[in-house]
Structure 1
Amino acid sequence: MSVWDDIVGQQPVIDQLRALAEGDQADLAQSWLICGPPGSGRSHMAKAFAAALESPDHGLGDEPTKTTQQVLNGTHPDVRIVSTDKVTIGIEQVRELAAACEQMPSTAPWRIIIIEDVDRMLERTTNVLLKQIEEPSPRTIWLLCAPSAQDVLPTIRSRTRILNLGVPSNEDVQQFLERDEKVDARTAARAARLAEGHIGVAHMYAHNSQVLADRDELIVGVLGLQRASQAVMLADSLNASAKAQAEEEVETQAEKDEQEFRRMNGLGPEERIPADLRGAYNALAKKADLKRRVTRLTRDVLDRALNSIASIYRDVSVVQNDAEQSVGLVNLENRSAIIELSVRLDREGAIERMDAVATARRRLAGNGNPLLVFEALFCALMV
């Protein structure tokens, strides 16, 4: 099974990176910026490229090598993966990487550092990174991931080789979901359509009926907005749901982290933590870190909600421009209400509501109060 098999809808980029990994790596660029919209698989592409560079079989064997498994699982000693479930990537993380990359790789051809969501870095943190990618250490490769090149400082993007990923088609995402025998074709098709090319969201819709039900409830609520009181209630419901989803995900991840900690240290499920491991164990469940994780994940849920809301007015515009046969509707289950709304709204009104969604997104990004942001948005969407 190839390391590229789980990359969805990005064949041109796969062909390019595969050729580089299998060819002469003497002149390989050492700083890369992998760009793509949320859900396009940019971090998966970075890991697959890293595995292809490090593994003796370039990740193409019938069975994955130990090296390939370690890279994809994030446990290879020469491949560091920086991700964050906080709002930003801290400067200390990058300084630690800068020190580590001065060392030559221990077992593999390259020391590779993958930074997911490099756009989450503050400018002072990015300046630390800049010094490293300007003059990379020998045998070190930096793989940076961001939604677009415009989301990182010009000084960064000018010193990296840029790869742009596209939005996977619904058909590609559906086929990917159908590889899981637990997902039937109908569920896969609906999840792919509603996710609009976001692989992670499609996977969530296909496997989590509650998240899908929350989306359905949101769409119906927005389509039925007529009074300010409805707007206030819908905003409150959405924020409560987002926080609950985030808390549940953080709790689930915390349990997995504890289980992995116990496994790595040879401890049973109920075994007492030895004194010499207590500090490391307590660090897994620091209240401040857990709170930041919930904040970050709540924002992700709300951002997904904004995408769902925007899809309503995308569908309205499709109907108004008689383009349903060519591009289809996202919210097909709500077709009757979409058509009705397309009559009540003129084209300018649909565009104004898309602008209102964009304004809400900017306010959230600027740390606006989520409840107030959505109250204002829903009031602006009333017809």
Structure 2
Amino acid sequence: MSVWDDIIGQKSVCDMLSAIATGDPSKLAQSWLICGPPGSGRSNLARAFAAALESPDHGLGSEPTRVTSQVLAGTHPDVSILATDKVTIGIDEVRELITVSEQMPSTAPWRIIIIEDVDRMLERTTNVLLKEIEEPSEHCIWLLCAPSAQDVLPTIRSRTRIVNLAVPQPAAVAKWLEQSNGIDPNIAKQAARLAEGHIGIAKLYATNERVRTERDELVAGVLNLHRASDAVLLADRLNTDAKSQAEDDVEREAARAQADFRRINGLGESDRIPPKLRGAYNAIAKKDEIKRKATRRSRDVLDRALTSVASIYRDIAVLQNGAEDSVGLINLENRAAITELATRMPRSGAVERLDQVALARKRLNGNGNPLLVFESLFCALLP
């Protein structure tokens, strides 16, 4: 099984990077910027590329090598991965990576540094990274990931080789859900369609009925907005659901991490934690850390909600322009209500409401109060 097999909808890019990984190492660029919209698989592609560069078989063997498995799992000693739950990537984290990048690889040909969401760096943090990107250590490769080249400072993107990913087609995502995750074909197709090419969200919709139900309720709520009171109630319900979902996710994650900690250290479910391990164990479920992660996860849920709201007006525009046969509808389950709204709304109305969704996203990303952001948005969507 090739290291590229789980990269969905990016065949041309995978073929190019595979050829580079098997080519002359002296001609290999050492600083890369992998760009793709959220859910396109840019972080997975970076790991696959790292595995192809480090593994003796360049990730092309019928069975994954030990090196390949370690890189993909994030446990290889020569591959460092910086991912963050925070709104921004800290300067100390980047400085630590720079120190690591200057070390010789211990077992593999390259020391590889992967930074996910490099667009979350503040300018002063980016300036710390700039010199290393421009003149990397002889045996180091930097793989930076961002939604687009425009989300990264020009000083960084001008010093990297840029790889652009496409939005995966729903058919490819549905096939992956069926084959790799054992999802029922009908649910896989629905999840892929609703996710609009976002692989992670497609898997979430396919495996979590609660999330699918909450999306259905949100779409129905938007389609039934008639008064300002409806907008206020819908915003309150959405924010409450987002907080609840985020807290549940983070607490389950902490519980799994604690269970893994016990297993790794040979402790049973009810065994007392030895004093020397207590600090590390308690840090897993630290209240401040859980609160911070829940806040970030809640913002992710709300961002997903904005995408769902935008899909309604995208579908209206599709119907108004007679383009359903060529591009299809996202919200097929709500086709009747969307068709009715499309007949009552002027063509400019759908565009104006898409602009309102974009404004809400900008306010949310600017750390605006989520409840006020959505109250304002839903009021702006009223007929």
> Normalising by the residue count of structure 1, what TM-score does the alignment of the two structures yield?
0.98
**2:331 is aligned with 1:327:** no
State the alpha-carbon separation in 1 of the partners of residues 256 and 220 from structure 2. 35
**2:92 is aligned with 1:92:** yes
State the alpha-carbon separation in 1 of the partners of residues 262 and 110 from structure 2. 31
Render the CA deviation track for 1:266-288: whole Å, top value 9, x for unaligned: 33333332233233223322222
Deviation at 1:182, TM superposition (A): 3.4
Letter in 2 for 1:8: I
Over the matched positions of the two proteins, sequence identity in percent amounts to: 69
Q: 2:148 corresponds to which residue?
A: 148
State the alpha-carbon separation in 2 of the partners of residues 288 and 100 from structure 1. 28
Letter in 2 for 1:313: Y
Letter in 1 for 2:165: L
> Normalising by the residue count of structure 2, what TM-score does the alignment of the two structures yield?
0.98
Q: 2:82 corresponds to which residue?
A: 82
Query: Could you say what secondary structure the match of 2:25 adopts?
Result: coil
Q: 1:240 corresponds to which residue?
A: 240
State the alpha-carbon separation in 2 of the partners of residues 9 and 181 from structure 1. 17
**2:382 is aligned with 1:382:** yes
State the alpha-carbon separation in 1 of the partners of residues 162 and 272 from structure 2. 49
Render the CA deviation track for 1:225-262: whole Å, top value 9, x for unaligned: 00111101100010011111111111121122223333
Distance 1:181 1:71, change over 3 A: closer
State the alpha-carbon separation in 1 of the partners of residues 102 and 73 from structure 2. 23
Mapping of 1:312-323 within 5 angstroms? Answer: 312-323=312-323
Moved more, 91-100 or 218-227: 91-100
- Stretches of structure 1 that go unaligned for 5 or more consecutive residues are none
Deviation at 1:292, TM superposition (A): 1.3
Deviation at 1:291, TM superposition (A): 1.3
State the alpha-carbon separation in 1 of the partners of residues 256 and 101 from structure 2. 29
Moved more, 275-284 or 8-17: 275-284
Query: Could you say what secondary structure the match of 1:163 adopts?
Result: strand
Q: 1:115 corresponds to which residue?
A: 115
State the alpha-carbon separation in 1 of the partners of residues 91 and 236 from structure 2. 35
Letter in 2 for 1:34: I
Letter in 1 for 2:320: Q
Deviation at 1:181, TM superposition (A): 6.0
State the alpha-carbon separation in 1 of the partners of residues 156 and 332 from structure 2. 42
State the alpha-carbon separation in 1 of the partners of residues 44 and 115 from structure 2. 12
Letter in 2 for 1:328: G
Moved more, 227-236 or 276-285: 276-285
Q: 2:27 corresponds to which residue?
A: 27
Mapping of 1:152-301 within 5 angstroms? Answer: 152-180=152-180, 182-301=182-301
Q: 2:366 corresponds to which residue?
A: 366
State the alpha-carbon separation in 2 of the partners of residues 253 and 99 from structure 1. 30
Letter in 1 for 2:300: D
State the alpha-carbon separation in 2 of the partners of residues 242 and 66 from structure 1. 39
Deviation at 1:265, TM superposition (A): 3.1
Q: 1:9 corresponds to which residue?
A: 9
- Stretches of structure 2 that go unaligned for 5 or more consecutive residues are none
State the alpha-carbon separation in 1 of the partners of residues 257 and 94 from structure 2. 23
Query: Could you say what secondary structure the match of 2:7 adopts?
Result: coil
Aligned length: 383
Deviation at 1:124, TM superposition (A): 1.6
State the alpha-carbon separation in 1 of the partners of residues 264 and 79 from structure 2. 19
State the alpha-carbon separation in 2 of the partners of residues 33 and 244 from structure 1. 35
Letter in 1 for 2:219: I
Letter in 1 for 2:88: T
Distance 1:181 1:105, change over 3 A: closer
State the alpha-carbon separation in 1 of the partners of residues 259 and 124 from structure 2. 36
Query: Could you say what secondary structure the match of 1:225 adopts?
Result: coil
Mapping of 1:293-312 within 5 angstroms? Answer: 293-312=293-312
Query: Could you say what secondary structure the match of 1:179 adopts?
Result: helix
Superposed CA RMSD in Å reads 1.1
Deviation at 1:122, TM superposition (A): 1.4
Render the CA deviation track for 1:97-156: whole Å, top value 9, x for unaligned: 111111100000001111111111111211111121111112101100000001111111
State the alpha-carbon separation in 2 of the partners of residues 5 and 261 from structure 1. 31
Mapping of 1:64-79 within 5 angstroms? Answer: 64-79=64-79
Deviation at 1:77, TM superposition (A): 0.4
Aligned partners of 1:87 and 1:292 also within 8 Å: no
Letter in 2 for 1:131: K
Aligned partners of 1:87 and 1:295 also within 8 Å: no
Letter in 1 for 2:6: D
